[in-house]
Each structure stands twice: as C-alpha cells, then as structure tokens.
C-alpha cells in the first residue's frame, strides 16, 4: 500500500545506467541552475531600499549608484567563477576548491556554510515567493507560513522524482520570468518617457543630511543578496552535457548578463516611480501596479515571480544533495547521504533539505527581511574561500597566462572578503547565529569522520588469522501458552540446535500450575523453565534468566532469543498484537549480547 | 537514559502485592471520585443562563425553578445508584450492569459511550479550568488551548505514577473547593441580606413574552450537565477500603448532598446578583467579583476553581483505564489495555485518554460551551441503560423489598431517558456526532472481538497430534565486505547449521571483482554468491534470490536471514549506521516467510 503510494508520487524506479540521460543541455541548465540567481531580482532592490529608508525618502536616489556597484561585483564574480569551472571540471564547489588548496578545515568551513546556505535558499525563496502572492492577494497575508510550507513540500516531492523531469517543468517558468521582467522594464521605461518621472523623486546627487557611510555600506551589502545563487553553475558541471566545462561557462555568462540587466532595470524603475518598501507589498508588485494597474498583466507578473521564486529553491535541491554526497564520500556526513534513491536522486539529502528549510520558515514566520542577511553571509563566506583557493592554485601550478587568472581571482576574493566584513560590521545582530551554528556543524563533521574511522579500525580483519569459528548455541523460546505459534517457533529452534529451552513467565500459582500441566501433556520434546514475576513484567525475569549461566551448555554459547511476531492481514490488526514482543526485542537487543530471531507467523484472518 | 528519565517522572516500579495498599478510604475517595461531580458546579448554572438569555434578561428567573428540578433529578440519581452499588459490589459501571441484564450489545453501547465520555470529561474539565484562569487573567485568553494541554499532560504523568499518590495530592484542593464555594455562598447571602438584591433582577413569576417550552427544556437539559460525574463512585467500588460497598454508598450520599447544596447556592446568587453569562468571564468569577471585588479572596476562589476542574479530569483517569481493562478482558479492546504498568496503573489506558482528550481540546479550541452538550449526552445514555439494567435485575431476582428498589430505578430510568430525549430534541445540531461516533466504536468492539477469536482458533493445537518437528535450515548472510561484523555473523551462522550462504550485492564490475578476490583470499569456509543490481537497491536482488530455490538443500527448509546491527556507544552514532539493515528487515519480514535474526555488534568507540 505505502509502496504503491510512493510509486504514484515518485514514479517508477530507474536503472543506474539511465543517469546519463538525465544530463542537462545549456538552455535546460540555465533554467535549473539559474533560477536562484535570477529570482534574486525579486528582492534585491527592495533590500537596498529598506535600508536607505532609514535616512528618509530623500536618500532613495543612492539606490542607483549602489545598484551599479552590485553590478560591478556581479561582473567580478562571473569572471572569477568562470575560471573555477575550467580548473575543476568535475564540479568545483567551494568545498572542493577550498579543501584542495587551503586544507581540510577550510574546505569543511566552506562546505558547512554552503550546506546551511542551501537550506536558507529554500527558506528565503519560498518565503519571498509567498510575498509575491500575498502582495497580489492581501487577504492571504495571514496564511504566509502555510503557503511557503506547501511549496516546500511540493518541491521535495518533485525532486524525489528526479532532476530530468523537474528540469522540463522548470524551464518554462524561468523563461517566462525573464520575458515578463523585460516586458515590465520596457513598458515601465516607455511609460516614464511618455508620462514622465514621479514628481517627488529626489534627484540623483541631492544632499541627504543624515546619511552615513555605515548606512550606505549596509545598503550595499543588502543589495548583494541579489547575487546569491551565481555559484550554482560551477558546482553542477558534471550535470552538463558534454563538453561540460564549455557549456557550463557559457551558461554562467548568459546568466550573469540576464541577471545584471534585470537587476539594474528594476532598480531604475523603482527609483523613477519613487517606490517605498512596504511590508505588505513587494517592490516588484508596486512597480507592476504602477506600470499596468491591477489588471491581467499585473497578476501574470506576480504569478510568474512567485513561481520563479518557488523554483529558485529548486537550485538548492540540486546542489544540497550533491554536496552532502561529496561530504559523505569523505566520511564527514552519514553514509545515508550517499544512497541514490529509486529515481536516481539522493533521496535522503532531498528530504533533509525539505525538513530543515520548512523548520526555518516556521521559526522565522516566513519573514524574508530577517532570513536574507543570514542567507547572504552564508553565501559570501564560501565565495571568499573558493576564490582564495583559486589564488593559491594559480600560484602553485603557474600554467600559461596564470598572472591574469590570479589577478581576476584576487580582485574577486578581496571584494567578497570586504563584503563579508561589511556584513559582520553592519548586520551583526541579524547574523550572529551563523557564527554559532557553523562551528557546531564543522565539529559535527569531524566527529562523524572520527567515528567512521574508529569503526573501520574496529571492524578490520586480519585476512590470514581471523576466520569464523563455529561455537555452541542455545536457543531460548519465550512461551505464553500452548499454541501453533509456540509449535512453529519450537520447530524452527529444533531445526537449528538441540539446545532449546522454552521459558514461561508466570504471575500467579494458578497460571503456573496450569501451564506446567499442559506442557507435560503436550510433551513437545523441549524442557520448560518457569520464571515467576512479581512485577507483572516479563522482560525483567527473562533478562535475569539469560544472565544466569546454569542452564547453558557452555558459557561461550551463542544465545538466540526467538520472538514470534504476528504478520496480520489488515494493518489495524497490528495494534492488537506484538506489543510485548516489540518491547522485549528492543530491550534485550540493546542491553545484552544476544541474537534476536523474529519468527513471522502469518495470520490468515 | 530514557529509562532513567522515566523513573524520575513515574517513580520506582511497584510489586503486584502493593496493590491493596493503594486502596481508598472514604474521605480520600470523596476527593478522587467526586471532583468530577462537584466541579460541575463551576459551569452548571452558567449553562442554564446561556440558554435562557436567548429569551432576554427577563427570563433569568427561570434559572431558579430549573435548578430545583435539576436538584430533584440529582436525588433520584443518587438513590438509584446507591442500589447499584449494593447489587454490584465488584464495580457496577453501566457496562457491567447493562451487559449483565440487557445483553451484550446494550452493554457495549453503555461501555462505548462511557469511554467516549471519559475522554470528554478530561476535555471539558481542562477547558473549564482554563476558563476560570482566563476569567481572572484576561490577558491569557489567547493561550487557552495551550494552558488546557499543559494540564492534561500534567494529569497524565501524575496518573502514570499511580492512584494512591495522586489521591493524596488531590484530596486537599477538593476540600478547599468545597470550603471556598460555601464561603462564597454564605458571604454572598450575607451581602445580599445587608445590601439588598440587584435592583433590576426580574422577579420570580414575571411573565416573559417569548419564552417557549422548547427553550425551558433546553435550559433544563443544559443544567443537567451539573450532574455529570455522579456515576464515578459506583464504577470504582473495588478501589474502596473494606467494607467497600458500605463505604462507597456513604461516599455517594456525601457527594450528592454537597453537590446539591453548592449548585442551588450558586444558582441563587447568580439570580440575585442579576448575572449575565459572558464568553470572557465565567458566572462563578462574576459572583466572586460581585461578592469580594477583585481582591485576594477573588483570586483564591478562581485558583481553587481552576484546580478542582483540572483535577475533575482525574476522575476519568481512574475510570477510563479500569473500564478499558474490563472491555479488554472480554476481548473487545486490545490486550494492551490489560497490562498494568510499573506503578500498577493501566499505563496504556492513561496514555490513550491523555492523547485523545488533548486532541479534542485542540479540535474544539478549548470551547466549553460546545463540548458540554456532547459530554452530557454521553453521560445520560449509560445512566439510562444502567438503570434499565437494574430494573430487569429486580424483576429477575425479586429479593425481599424488590418492589421499592424497582420503583426507585424505574423513576430514575424514566427521568434520564426523558432527559436524553430532550437532549436529542433540543440540541441535535451540537450532539449529532455522538450518534455517528458511537456506532463506529461499537463496531470496532465487535471487530476486535472477532479478530481475537479467529486468532485463537487459528492458533489452537491438537495436543495429541500437533508436535514441533525439526526440518532443514539454511542461513543467508548478506555481506558488504570482509569485516569483523561479517566474521561474527558467519561464526554465528556456522554454529547453527552447515548450510550457510553469504550473499554480496554488487553495483559494478570493479566492486564485484574486488569482493570475489578478497573472499577467495580470506576463505572463511562459506560459499559466496554474487548478485548484480542495476537499481542500486540491495533489497530487490536479495528478495529475488530468496525466492529462487536452486541454492537451497530442500524446498521446505527454514530460511533465516542474518542481519547485523551496530549497537553504538552514543545515541547520535545511530544515525550513522543501520539504515539499510532496518529497511531490509522491514521489507523482508513483511513480505516473505523468512526468519530475521538480528545479530548485535557492539561498537566500542
């Protein structure tokens, strides 16, 4: 039943050989991998304006130079990551690059912050997508968290079905989003050219009395949230069709160009319209409203924006499980993250991501403004480390033309380092959690590695000396009466050894006498040992019995406890049986060195 | 760890023989068993007023004759139940009396409605207790559900500790409540005598234009909610100290007298003060406020009222597990309800009650007004059936003086039957659920009974003919490499039989070749069978392997699959291991007729 439901939800299982067919063409890759970056347009400008408004409406003109600075940063990042793609064609995530060039600890720092960040990507994108919806339908404002959670659930299920299929679904909305935003920008520009700029917009260059460098830096770092997601391409090179590096590099540049154009366009429109950020309506919603009015075009733009934001979360669904797989392969995360599911995705990684991002949405009440700083700082730490790693790599390998490459990465590293520092300096009260959480994650990595290594050492056999040896064996069969179940269990035990002991736990003299008499009549060829319990517990006397040795043939005997378990025909019948067996098994197994053999008894009715 | 936490919460285990020491004296019994009945005073009058207000404030004087009618009904019930106590000294719950005299189906109807009702008792009492708190502290009004849930959790834990100890805790607040309410009534009467009655109270006998018989009947049935809980004593006779019948009967009469006096007192005060029901402040709170003002005495009265209401729920915690035990002994409920826990209470019944009442509180948002009608009708069905049963009993046995007894029970039966009909007639829109839910519960009883009987038939052995017989046996050991775990598993398997097969599931040629070579070098004396999987699943190939028969010695062989399981030193290490074993065990066990032997491997680090 459950298995059939899973089939319906997830689809039929796929062979490992089908993996190649799941690889991405450039255009598909643009859709799957850039939705995170492109969708940042939906909140990037708003984050800048939110900060500037602290100095009054007169300060909003600063959004234009700040947006241009963010654009410059985007250029640097794209050039820098382009180099990473060619240097690490097997997937140069920050974890790989940092581990390779800067040592393990730095790699783990990068890996840890990326893992945390992918979770935040899902939380931020689903919350921002919800904002787009509730801007259009204010009555839904109170159901924000629920809407975001439904979207996370939907994404999780879609990803358990496999990347290939989701890419086909994803391609359309990403293209639609790009088209929609360009239509919005062009229509907005035409409208402004014909109707004119908003009367009260402060001119660029207006003196603002209470603006400070701190505020400007804060606004700039807020604007950098528009750049989250650009690293996705370089992490996912093996998912590209061959030649994968070249295709990945082109996809990266396409993405950068589109992102830059959309971001500066939205910033300019916001400035010309004189838009103020509003907790109940996003900036993009206000621009669309001002351009088209609340007509059909407005709702299409809001709908597509919501869609792309929800799908942006999907970038994390491709990246997180892959990174978790790499960490698990290096034994820093549980083996479970290495298992590909029926549909070739890393199911455990996908489920883990879904659960934790849902948790974040609930904890932050789906509040984008507080999630984004965490998200951005989590991105810029691995940005910096990854480029520092590339710098070291140029210095070590010194291939032809290395100086240019080194300079590009150095500029990139310094810029992202400065932005990280600006984050810490201007937004410490919003991001301090990261600096508590990251060390815990990294400590966890080391603990897991150590445990796996200890285990491997413990389990290693000397292939010459260590051989399995047969020993004596005794089987204990707890019985509650004379039934077919007992008969079946005894048959099974007698097939394996002659040392079979039946044990009955009695609570009163009457019951014990009755059992003794019945056993004698039946005479199954197995001796019955009676234990008396004054605590109504059958577990305690049994454990004590197993601890005593008198009844065993040799102290070194293997001891097996046979526990019958009913396999019922209908699921609800299960609650009518097996409670004691479950308890007994759980207790004995964890406490004692005995083998528990569960003997199924299939009930027919 | 968990075990130690349980000890701390629940207390040390107790011997069965300690059961007698847990029995109740009359005064203690009054506390444990009558808190439900006495606490009804906190909402009974309010329920009458709520209905009357539909006809305007002028109608409130009807609350006085209605209260007197309820008082009359209380007298009838007490006399009637007193007879039940002597007729069924082993505990004459409605289930027993109805089953014994009216047949099984009627008994189950009574038992089922009582079970549902005990759950409602907990939900209503904890919600009403919360009302008392939020009347005193209106700012807590929004946290009603949370407060009620905390109290349910507290009660559940307390009851898992055992009745004796909770009785000692419970005795004090019940006495305090009785004292507090009497002080309130006396002070109120004195105040009214000195200051005079509220100016605008409609005089008794005032003509009310829009009053209808329907409304009066509805108000009367609402007032009957004050009588819920009077049956508790007759269900719990075996819990009394000897002579238990006499002690139980005296407790019942004490309880009836106190309840009647408090109920009529509150009704009179409410009338004299001219109190109108208010969703944010209870009637008792308004009376206390009018009598003492919001001083220390007011808060004491509210606090004690809340306390007694929370503890009223405790009546259900004594009664529900006992009734569930009786039903489970007759095989109408799962065996699990027959198991006494470490502290002699029926733990499963207690937990079940806690969970379901918490669910009700959440579903009804802790809304007393909607819960009470359900509760009351659930009480009056078994009231009626129990007394009908007593009537039949008098007619059958005809002991000396049976005519008087028959008359008392007949009057009781007719009165409660009429009230049940009034409920159905006047409040059908609030109580229809009961008539859907009850048949389902009763159907469930029969289904469970049938299943247990089928199982017993299936399991019965012919003691002369059916004997256990040894057969051939084959042990399958899935291996993932050459490790100590494999060595241990093979040693174990070789101790039991010569037919041991190691099975390796490989995903690629490289891994398979490596494994074959290593196995050959090791040469453990067990043949290795290699299975190839193109689906990355180890379960599917293994299942198919077990289905094929070529490798078995005989088709009738017992098949055992050995599954090693790591016992880790620290709980968190568990998530690093055992995932595949768990899946394999769950799948094989439910699908196939194989024995699963779990071999523990204790990790040392």
Question: Regarding predicted confidence, which is higher, A171 or B352?
Answer: B352
pLDDT at B217 over 60: yes
Task: Give the mean pLDDT of B194-205.
Answer: 75
Tell me the C-alpha distance between B159 and A459, whole Å. 47
Indicate the pLDDT class of residue A224, thresholds 50, 70 and 90.
confident
pLDDT digits (tens, 9 = 90+) for B405-420: 899 899 989 988 998 8
Indicate the pLDDT class of residue B67, thresholds 50, 70 and 90.
very high
Among candidates A16, A595, A600 on the partner chain, residue whose Cβ is nearest the Cβ of B536: A16
pLDDT at A42 over 80: yes
Q: What pairs with residue A240 in β-bridges? A: A24
Kindly report the nearest CA distance between residue A174 and chain B, in angstroms.
32
Residue pair B438/B116 in contact (Cβ under 8 Å)? The answer is yes
Across the interface, do B13 and A334 touch by the CB < 8 Å criterion? no
> Which positions in chain A touch B352 (Cβ < 8 Å)?
none
pLDDT at A265 over 90: yes
Kindly report the nearest CA distance between residue B328 and chain A, in angstroms.
10
Among candidates A17, A590, A600 on the partner chain, residue whose Cβ is nearest the Cβ of B589: A600
Across the interface, do B536 and A340 touch by the CB < 8 Å criterion? yes
User: Does domain A25-452 correspond to CATH entry 3.50.50.60?
Assistant: no
Tokens representing residue A572 in the block: 């609800």
Task: Determine which of A264-268, B162-166, B192-196, B332-336 has the lowest per-residue pLDDT on average.
Answer: B162-166
> Which positions in chain B touch A583 (Cβ < 8 Å)?
none
The residue to which tokens 């391409």 are assigned: A233
Highest mean pLDDT (candidates A65-69, B35-39, B86-90): A65-69
Backbone angles phi, psi at B294, to 5 degrees: -80, 55
Tell me the C-alpha distance between A563 and A585, whole Å. 8
- Determine the pLDDT at residue B550: 59
- Determine the pLDDT at residue B371: 86
pLDDT at B9 over 80: no
Kindly report the nearest CA distance between residue A13 and chain B, in angstroms.
7
pLDDT at A377 over 70: yes
Across the interface, do B598 and A604 touch by the CB < 8 Å criterion? no
pLDDT digits (tens, 9 = 90+) for B166-175: 556 667 888 8
Indicate the pLDDT class of residue A406, thresholds 50, 70 and 90.
very high
Measured CA to CA in angstroms, residue A319 lies from A100, A233, A315, B77, B190 at distances of 19, 9, 6, 71, 78
Among candidates B468, B580, B604 on the partner chain, residue whose Cβ is nearest the Cβ of A458: B604
> Which positions in chain A touch B325 (Cβ < 8 Å)?
none
Tell me the C-alpha distance between A382 and A385, whole Å. 5
Task: Give the mean pLDDT of B200-212.
Answer: 78
Mean pLDDT of all residues belonging to chain B: 83
Candidates A470, A519, A526, A533: best to mutate against B (most CBs of B within 10 A) is A470
Kindly report the nearest CA distance between residue B485 and chain A, in angstroms.
6
Task: Give the mean pLDDT of A233-238.
Answer: 76
Would you mind telling me the total number of residues written for chain B in this entry?
A: 605
Across the interface, do A576 and B17 touch by the CB < 8 Å criterion? no
Among candidates A468, A486, A598 on the partner chain, residue whose Cβ is nearest the Cβ of B490: A468
CATH code of the region A472-602: 3.40.50.620
Kindly report the nearest CA distance between residue B120 and chain A, in angstroms.
23
Among candidates A342, A484, A495 on the partner chain, residue whose Cβ is nearest the Cβ of B461: A484
Question: Dihedral angle at the C-alpha atoms of B569, B573, B579, B582, nearest 10 degrees?
Answer: 30
Q: What pairs with residue A81 in β-bridges? A: none
> Which positions in chain B touch A589 (Cβ < 8 Å)?
565, 567, 598, 600
Indicate the pLDDT class of residue B299, thresholds 50, 70 and 90.
very high
Tell me the C-alpha distance between B282 and B42, whole Å. 8
Tell me the C-alpha distance between A509 and A503, whole Å. 16
pLDDT at A17 over 70: no
- Determine the pLDDT at residue A178: 92
Domain ranges in chain A are: 25-452, 472-602
pLDDT at B15 over 60: no
Among candidates B342, B452, B473 on the partner chain, residue whose Cβ is nearest the Cβ of A576: B452
Q: Which of B315, B420, B422 is nearest to B378 (CA)?
A: B420
Kindly report the nearest CA distance between residue A19 and chain B, in angstroms.
11
pLDDT at A359 over 70: yes
Candidates A332, A449, A459, A492: best to mutate against B (most CBs of B within 10 A) is A459
pLDDT digits (tens, 9 = 90+) for B309-341: 888 888 788 788 888 888 888 889 888 887 766
SS3 assignment for B143-165:
HHHHHHHHHHHHHHHHHHCCHHH
pLDDT digits (tens, 9 = 90+) for A104-156: 888 899 889 888 888 998 998 999 999 889 988 888 888 888 899 999 998 88
Q: Over pLDDT 70: what percentage of chain A? A: 89
Task: Give the mean pLDDT of A522-533.
Answer: 86
Across the interface, do A470 and B596 touch by the CB < 8 Å criterion? no
Candidates B486, B496, B514, B603: best to mutate against A (most CBs of A within 10 A) is B496
pLDDT at A548 over 70: yes
> Which positions in chain B touch A490 (Cβ < 8 Å)?
468
- Per the rule left: phi > 0, alpha: psi between -120 and 50, beta: everything else, A333 is beta
Q: Over pLDDT 70: what percentage of chain B? A: 89
> Listing from the earlier edge strand, what are the strands of the sheet with B595-602?
A527-532, A500-506, A473-479, A558-567, A595-602, B595-602, B558-567, B473-479, B500-506, B527-532
Mean pLDDT of all residues belonging to chain A: 83
Candidates A343, A346, A443, A576: best to mutate against B (most CBs of B within 10 A) is A576
> Which positions in chain B touch A537 (Cβ < 8 Å)?
13, 342
Indicate the pLDDT class of residue B446, thresholds 50, 70 and 90.
very high
DSSP label of A239: G
What are the CB-based long-range contacts (under 8 Å, 24+) for A537-541?
A537/B13, A537/B342, A538/A478, A538/A505, A538/A580, A538/A584, A539/A583, A539/A584, A539/A587, A539/A588, A541/A505
pLDDT at A214 over 70: yes
- Full-model pTM: 0.70
Using a 10 angstrom Cβ sphere, with 0-12 exposed, 13-18 middle and 19 or more buried, the burial of residue B32 is buried
Across the interface, do B13 and A597 touch by the CB < 8 Å criterion? no
pLDDT at B262 over 90: yes
Tokens representing residue A562 in the block: 């046979």
Among candidates A14, A524, A534 on the partner chain, residue whose Cβ is nearest the Cβ of B467: A524
pLDDT at A248 over 90: no
Indicate the pLDDT class of residue B123, thresholds 50, 70 and 90.
very high
Residue pair A161/A75 in contact (Cβ under 8 Å)? The answer is no
- Determine the pLDDT at residue A400: 84
Across the interface, do A463 and B518 touch by the CB < 8 Å criterion? yes
Candidates B455, B578, B580, B601: best to mutate against A (most CBs of A within 10 A) is B455
Task: Determine which of A164-168, A449-453, B240-244, B597-601 has the lowest per-residue pLDDT on average.
Answer: A164-168
Across the interface, do A605 and B454 touch by the CB < 8 Å criterion? yes
SS3 assignment for A579-590:
HHHHHHHHHHHH
Measured CA to CA in angstroms, residue A312 lies from A33, A358, B223 at distances of 8, 15, 60
Q: Which of B456, B360, B427, B503 is nearest to B51 (CA)?
A: B427
Tell me the C-alpha distance between B330 and B346, whole Å. 16
Across the interface, do B482 and A472 touch by the CB < 8 Å criterion? no
pLDDT at B424 over 90: no
Among candidates A577, A597, A602 on the partner chain, residue whose Cβ is nearest the Cβ of B560: A597
Among candidates A448, A470, A589 on the partner chain, residue whose Cβ is nearest the Cβ of B491: A470
Q: What share of chain B is helix, strand, coil (3-state, %, to 5)?
A: 70, 5, 20
- Determine the pLDDT at residue B265: 93
Question: Regarding predicted confidence, which is higher, B5 or B348?
Answer: B348
pLDDT at B119 over 60: yes
Tell me the C-alpha distance between B6 and A366, whole Å. 37
Indicate the pLDDT class of residue B178, thresholds 50, 70 and 90.
very high
Neighbours of A550 (CB within 10 A): 5
The residue in chain A having the minimum alpha-carbon distance to the alpha carbon of residue B521 is A463
- Determine the pLDDT at residue A10: 53
Kindly report the nearest CA distance between residue A346 and chain B, in angstroms.
11
Question: Regarding predicted confidence, which is higher, A33 or B108?
Answer: B108
- Determine the pLDDT at residue B174: 86
Across the interface, do B463 and A17 touch by the CB < 8 Å criterion? no
Tell me the C-alpha distance between B446 and B134, whole Å. 43
């Amino acid at each position: 039943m459950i298995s059939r439901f899973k089939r319906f939800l997830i689809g039929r299982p796929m062979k490992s050989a089908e993996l190649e067919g799941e690889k991405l063409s450039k255009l598909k890759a643009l859709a799957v991998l850039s939705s995170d970056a492109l969708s940042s347009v939906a909140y990037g400008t708003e984050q800048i304006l939110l900060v500037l408004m602290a100095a009054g409406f007169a300060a909003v003109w600063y959004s234009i130079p700040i947006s241009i600075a963010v654009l410059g940063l985007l250029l640097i990042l794209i050039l820098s990551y382009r180099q990473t793609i060619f240097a690490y064609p097997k997937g140069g995530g920050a974890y790989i690059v940092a581990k390779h060039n800067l040592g393990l600890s730095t790699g783990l720092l990068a890996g840890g912050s990326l893992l945390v960040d992918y979770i935040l990507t899902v939380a931020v994108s689903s919350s921002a997508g919800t904002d787009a919806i509730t801007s259009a339908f204010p009555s839904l404002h109170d159901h924000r968290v629920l809407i975001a959670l439904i979207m996370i659930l939907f994404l999780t299920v879609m990803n358990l079905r496999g990347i290939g299929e989701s890419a086909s679904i994803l391609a359309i909305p990403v293209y639609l989003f790009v088209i929609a935003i360009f239509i919005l920008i062009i229509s907005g520009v035409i409208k402004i050219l014909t109707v004119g700029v908003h009367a009260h917009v402060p001119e660029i260059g207006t003196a603002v009395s209470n603006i400070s460098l701190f505020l400007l830096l804060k606004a700039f770092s807020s604007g950098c949230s528009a750049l989250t997601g650009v690293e996705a391409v370089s992490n996912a090179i093996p998912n590209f069709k061959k030649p994968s590096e070249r295709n990945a590099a082109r996809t990266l540049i396409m993405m950068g160009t589109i992102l830059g154009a959309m971001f500066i366009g939205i910033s300019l429109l916001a400035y010309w319209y004189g838009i103020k950020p509003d907790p109940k309506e996003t900036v993009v919603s206000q621009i669309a409203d001002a351009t088209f009015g609340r007509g059909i075009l407005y709702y299409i733009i809001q709908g597509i924006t919501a869609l792309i934001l929800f799908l942006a979360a999907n970038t994390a669904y491709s990246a997180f499980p892959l990174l978790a797989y790499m960490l698990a392969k290096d034994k820093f995360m549980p083996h479970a993250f290495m298992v590909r599911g029926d549909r070739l995705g890393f199911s455990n990684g996908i489920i883990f991501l879904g659960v934790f991002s849902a948790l974040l949405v609930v904890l932050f009440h789906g509040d984008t403004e507080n999630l984004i700083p965490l998200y951005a700082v989590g991105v810029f730490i691995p940005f910096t480390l990854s480029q520092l790693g590339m710098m070291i790599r140029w210095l070590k390998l010194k291939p032809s033309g290395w100086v240019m490459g080194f300079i590009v990465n150095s500029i990139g590293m310094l810029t992202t380092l400065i932005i990280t520092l600006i984050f810490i300096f201007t937004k410490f009260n919003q991001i301090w959690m990261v600096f508590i959480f990251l060390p815990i994650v990294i400590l966890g990595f080391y603990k897991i590695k150590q445990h796996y290594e200890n285990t491997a050492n413990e389990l290693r056999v000397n292939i010459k000396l260590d051989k399995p040896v047969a020993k004596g064996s005794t089987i204990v069969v707890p019985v509650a009466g004379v039934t077919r179940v007992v008969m079946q269990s005894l048959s099974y035990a007698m097939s394996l050894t002659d040392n079979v002991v039946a044990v009955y736990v009695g609570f009163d003299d009457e019951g014990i006498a009755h059992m003794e008499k019945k056993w004698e009549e039946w005479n199954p060829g197995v001796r019955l040992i009676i234990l008396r319990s004054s605590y109504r517990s059958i577990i305690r006397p049994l454990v004590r019995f197993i601890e005593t040795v008198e009844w065993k043939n040799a102290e070194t005997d293997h001891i097996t406890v046979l526990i019958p378990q009913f396999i019922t025909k209908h699921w609800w019948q299960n609650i009518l049986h097996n409670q004691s067996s479950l308890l007994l098994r759980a207790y004995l197994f964890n406490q004692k060195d005995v083998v528990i053999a569960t003997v199924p008894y299939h009930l027919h009715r």
